[in-house]
């Protein structure tokens, strides 16, 4: 219960809609956030399969995680002015980490891809609509086209790159196809990749 809005001795009118105090539920608490229209399909598909989708709430800077919960439901229409749809997540708030009307950033885990190849997102170069990387073989840089997928924590899932391949991650202005280089980079790795949807919200 919040602060009282009417004190003993105040003049009130019976016709006025006088509120004595505001009651807010804290445990559990819900967070409303938005999902881009283009990301709605994968989320809705997972919900149709009765999947439990994890939602993390971060502070205003999106650096510190405040609480973890799960997606409760989606709104039934898209906001045409913003191209987004509202979603509601529920959090167990036993430690009161979340507060009513608090601004938070949310991260929705949609799916986890197993056994995919990840490379630094900064290694991927663009040529119009095409994406490519420089693969280093025998100290020679070779251009290889790639198809980027999920990006998470600075790593991007790619096809057409094998674990163990070495890709250039700097000095792109000096690289061309078949350029001689001295490689000192980590090889591409195979790890789970999280497909997530970020958003801003207020409970």
**Which own/partner pairs from 24-29 qualify as long-range (CB within 8 Å, at least 24 positions apart)?**
24/100, 26/93, 26/96, 26/98, 26/99, 26/100, 27/92, 27/93, 27/94, 27/96, 28/90, 28/91, 28/92, 28/93, 29/90, 29/91, 29/93, 29/98, 29/100, 29/203
CB contact at 8 A, 84 and 37? yes
Per-residue pLDDT, 19:
79
Token digits of residue 174: 């000096």
Per-residue pLDDT, 200:
42
| H or E segment and range at residue 43 | helix 40-48
Same fold flag, 29-110+198-202 and 113-193: no
Per-residue pLDDT, 203:
34
| CATH class label, 113-193 | mainly beta
Residue pLDDT, tens place only, 76-112: 999 999 999 999 999 999 999 999 999 999 999 998 8
pLDDT bin (cut points 50, 70, 90) of residue 113 is confident
Query: What CATH number should be reported for the domain whose range is 29-110+198-202?
Result: 2.40.30.170
Per-residue pLDDT, 29:
95
Distances 174 to 11, 85, 168 between C-alpha atoms, Å = 78, 44, 11
Mean pLDDT computed over every residue of the chain = 85
Residue pLDDT, tens place only, 168-199: 888 888 888 888 887 665 666 666 655 555 44
Residue pLDDT, tens place only, 34-57: 999 998 999 999 999 999 999 999
pLDDT above 70 as % of the chain: 87
**Segments making up each domain of the chain, as ranges:** 29-110+198-202, 113-193
Mean pLDDT within 70-80: 94
């Amino acid at each position: 219960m919040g602060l009282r809005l009417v004190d003993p001795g105040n003049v009130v009118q019976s016709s006025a809609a006088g509120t004595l105090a505001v009651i807010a539920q804290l445990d559990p608490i819900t967070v409303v956030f938005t999902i881009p229209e283009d990301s709605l399909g994968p989320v809705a598909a997972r919900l149709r399969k009765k999947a439990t989708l994890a939602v993390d709430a971060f502070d205003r800077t999106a650096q510190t995680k405040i609480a973890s919960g799960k997606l409760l439901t989606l709104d039934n229409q898209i906001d045409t002015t913003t191209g987004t749809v509202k979603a509601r997540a529920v959090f167990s708030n036993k430690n009161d980490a979340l507060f009513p009307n608090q601004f938070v950033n949310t991260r929705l885990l949609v799916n986890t891809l197993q056994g995919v190849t990840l490379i630094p997102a900064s290694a991927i170069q663009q040529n119009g609509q095409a994406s490519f990387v420089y693969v280093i073989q025998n100290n020679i840089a070779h251009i290889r086209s790639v198809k980027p997928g999920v990006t998470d924590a600075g790593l991007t899932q790619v096809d057409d790159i094998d674990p163990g391949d070495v890709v250039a991650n700097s000095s792109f202005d000096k690289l061309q196809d078949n350029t001689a280089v001295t490689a000192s980079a980590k090889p591409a790795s195979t790890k789970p990749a999280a497909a997530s949807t970020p958003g801003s919200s207020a409970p």
